[in-house]
Amino acid sequence: MNDRRTRLIQIKKIIRENLVSSQEQLLKMLLENEISVTQATLSRDLKMLNVSKISNEKEGYHYHLPSEKEEKEAEKYLVEDIARGFLSIDFSGNLAIMKTLPGHANTVAIALDMLEGLPVIGTIAGDDAILIVLKEGADKDIVKDALKNKIPDLEYEL
């Protein structure tokens, strides 16, 4: 399986268990685990996971994942991004349209894509609206509950 969530989990596992010093090395390790990805996609994945490079005196620079505390702090900012721009959401089958304040759709879409626990395959953002594709089996009630759990103080009714 080569879906995004599986790929991100595998990237985290590889970085936690190995000293990975380059994207080329990481691409090779992913391929060994039957995950094929382009360098451009891997770059976006590393950015999404907030991976940084740190120096190790013996081995040189290698990739580093943020700690749980740092991840919780990052999630706080994602939640704030969504809450700041959110206006409304409407559903049709496995699709949803989220309305945002003008100019906020891209930021909110990125936050929706990065926020763990939402039943979302992906998003496409315009200026003030986002097309959201829901995971198989997810419906509007599941999405609304997930949003309320992650962002309990949304100012607008879901």
Question: 3-state secondary structure string, 12-33?
Answer: HHHHHHCCCCCHHHHHHHHHHC
Question: Which of 49, 64, 79 represents a domain boundary (last residue)?
Answer: 64
Residue 158 confidence class, pLDDT cut points 50, 70, 90 = low
- Over residues 117-143, the pLDDT tens digits come to 889 999 999 999 999 999 999 989 999
- 19 shares a domain with 56: yes
Question: Could you tell me if residue 126 is inside a domain?
Answer: yes
Domain at 92, CATH number:
3.30.1360.40
Question: Could you tell me if residue 158 is inside a domain?
Answer: no
Q: What is the pLDDT of residue 157?
A: 62
Question: Could you tell me if residue 33 is inside a domain?
Answer: yes
Q: What is the pLDDT of residue 24?
A: 95
- 83 shares a domain with 11: no
Q: What is the pLDDT of residue 155?
A: 65
- 77 shares a domain with 52: no
Question: Which of 13, 47, 64 represents a domain boundary (last residue)?
Answer: 64
pLDDT at residue 98 greater than cutoff 90: yes
What's the whole-number mean pLDDT along residues 142-152? 89
**Which structural domain range is residue 120 located in?**
69-150
Position 99, amino acid: K
Q: What CA–CA distance (Å, rounded) separates 51 from 152?
A: 28
Would you say 121 and 133 are in contact if contact means Cβ atoms under 8 Å apart?
yes
φ/ψ of 9, rounded to 5, equals -60, -45
Q: What CA–CA distance (Å, rounded) separates 112 from 132?
A: 9
- Over residues 36-90, the pLDDT tens digits come to 999 999 998 898 788 999 987 777 899 999 887 877 787 888 899 999 999 999 9
Residue 4 confidence class, pLDDT cut points 50, 70, 90 = confident
- 145 shares a domain with 83: yes
Question: Which of 14, 42, 64 represents a domain boundary (last residue)?
Answer: 64
Question: Could you tell me if residue 156 is inside a domain?
Answer: no
- 60 shares a domain with 74: no
Q: What is the pLDDT of residue 1?
A: 43
